Amino acid sequence: MDSLLKGLFGGSKPSAPSSTDDGDFADFAGAPDPVPVQSFNPTTASPVQDSPAIPTSSTGIVYTKWYRVWERTSPGDFYSEMVILPFVLIIVALHVWGRRKNKRKARNWIAAHAPILKNEFAVVGFGGRDSPSVEEVESDGLAKALTSEKLTIPSELLKEKTAQEYTTYATGRQNVAFVDVKITLFKRYNPFTLFLEYVLSTFFDSIKPPVERMEATAYAFDGKEKDLLTAASPREQANLEERIKGLQSSYDNCVWAVVNKDNMRRLREDRYDISLTVTKDHPKLPLWASVMSESAEVTETLLTPELIKLIEEAGDSAFEYLIVTDQPIDKPRTLDQTIPRKRLTLSMHLPSSTAPTAYAHTLPLFSYFLRLPDTLVTNAHFRPEVGRKIRATREEESRKLRKVDEEEKAEERKLEGDRKKKAEREAKLKGLSAAEQNRYLEKERERERKKSEKKMAKRG
């Protein structure tokens, strides 16, 4: 009976008797005895040993020296690289060509305009003098170390900010604190992006088409020479103040511009100062140009026959705008941003040609722009009626900003008062018992209910 139950329910089976033969070493029974490896002698090496290696297994893998690439690969292993490499070379070649082309065009511009800048300003470009080291001062003395020629930094007329933007700088002139010039070029180093900008600008007005332009901005002293000019020593500072004591570099505030009609809409939308002006055609200007001014008297004063002639010579393809302003470009958000900061801006398209004579028709206008601050200091002093009209526009904007500022301060005071009341209420509730807190909250609800009833009664 016991054996029957074990058979039905999977009882343990008797283990098979272990074999007395050791079968694990049967595979090595017929293996040949090892043969000793002969040592390698370089002097007796045969030429056969330098022959290419052959596969050592049925998989076809070749084992060879690390530098024998041609024995391990075939041209078929590099088909993907053969397809990708030409595109990489084209992209690199276009990038290098585009950067060189832009650099050459920027250098041609500065080569044509540097004589005019050097004739008008004492310092042109980025350079100056370095400070002497401690060792030089100890060995040569402070006076000799400061005048050493080794400290002179070579002037760099043009500085590359990006592959498509170059800048230059000029200072050291009466009536002008400094001039910034920015040259914007095509993205020739990235043709795909350039093409995409052209396409998108065709379908979307918010995207501007790429152009090559020069934009120069002159910042007027406006009687602030003492604040802007500094000297190395108190004695030199006293001499400087004595020299500028009798100078008169201020002129009346105004916003005035001569604009190519293709840029009128963009300027009015992008610039706050231009939005303050009124657009009027002038009979003496070409048909493609117009005047944007705050007053007719400002136009009669600044639109000289010489300027009209130079704008005509520059032509529709080159001239963009000439702006005289004292207001910010972006709409002011605070009262500090409404403080007048007088500037002059000239923008012109760059010619496609890189020949030395390509700027011949725009150089006279650029030279006139650099001398325009002198004209403003001499003639831009308008009648009191014109000044009151211009001030009224600025005061209206200041009044709006002041009102917004007062409303923001009142809102802050209200929030601060609510926070104090809430803190006092919480402190008072903490000192009361549970029954007293319930009575206090009940009174609050009663007061709120009465207030709402009074409001409803007033509305009815």
Query: What's the rounded mean pLDDT across residues 358-386?
Result: 93
pLDDT over 50 (residue 268): yes
Does the structure show a pLDDT above 80 at 327?
yes
Specify whether the CB–CB gap between 302 and 380 falls below 8 A.
yes
- pLDDT, greater one: 245 or 305: 305
Question: What pLDDT shows up at residue 220?
Answer: 92
Nearest to 365 by CA among 429, 307, 424: 307
- Per the CB < 8 A criterion, the answer to whether 221 and 249 are in contact is yes
Confidence of residue 318 (pLDDT cuts 50, 70, 90): very high
Low-confidence winner among 30-39, 133-142, 215-224, 343-352 (lowest mean pLDDT)? 30-39
Tell me: pLDDT of 39 over 50: no
Rounded to the nearest 10 degrees, how much is the dihedral formed by the CA atoms of 321, 323, 327, 333? 10
What pLDDT sits at residue 407?
86
First to last CA, the chain: 105
Burial class (CB in 10 A: 0-12, 13-18, 19+), 222: buried
pLDDT at 134: 55
- For residues 154 and 205, what is the distance between their CA atoms, to the nearest angstrom? 44
CB 219 within 8 A of CB 176: yes
Q: pLDDT for 433-454, tens place per residue?
A: 888 888 888 888 888 888 888 7
pLDDT exceeds cutoff 50 at 17:
no
Of 7-16, 307-316, 445-454, which one has max mean pLDDT? 307-316
Model confidence band, residue 44 (pLDDT cutoffs 50, 70, 90): very low
pLDDT tens string 69-117: 777 778 888 888 889 999 999 999 999 999 999 999 999 999 999 999 9
- Asked if pLDDT for residue 49 goes beyond 60, the answer is no
Residue pLDDT, tens place only, 332-368:
888 888 888 999 999 999 998 877 688 999 999 999 9
pLDDT for residue 31: 52
Residue 230's contacts (CB-CB under 8 Å, 6 or more residues apart) are 237
Check if the beta carbon of residue 255 is closer than 8 Å to that of residue 274.
yes
Tell me which range, 185-189, 205-209, 330-334, is most confidently predicted by mean pLDDT.
185-189
| Residue 323 scores a pLDDT above 90 | yes
Q: Which residues contact 97 (CB under 8 A, 6 or more apart)?
A: 188, 189
Element (H, E) at 7: helix 2-8
C-alpha 215, offset from chain centre: 16
Contact assessment for residue 222 and residue 325, using Cβ atoms and an 8 Å cutoff: no
Rounded Cα gap, residues 391 and 384, in angstroms: 10
How large is the average pLDDT for residues 368-372? 95
Q: Is 56 helix (H, G, I), strand (E, B) or coil?
A: coil
pLDDT in tens, 123-132: 888 865 555 5
State the pLDDT at residue 92: 94
What letter represents residue 168's amino acid? Answer: T
CA distance 111 to 168: 12
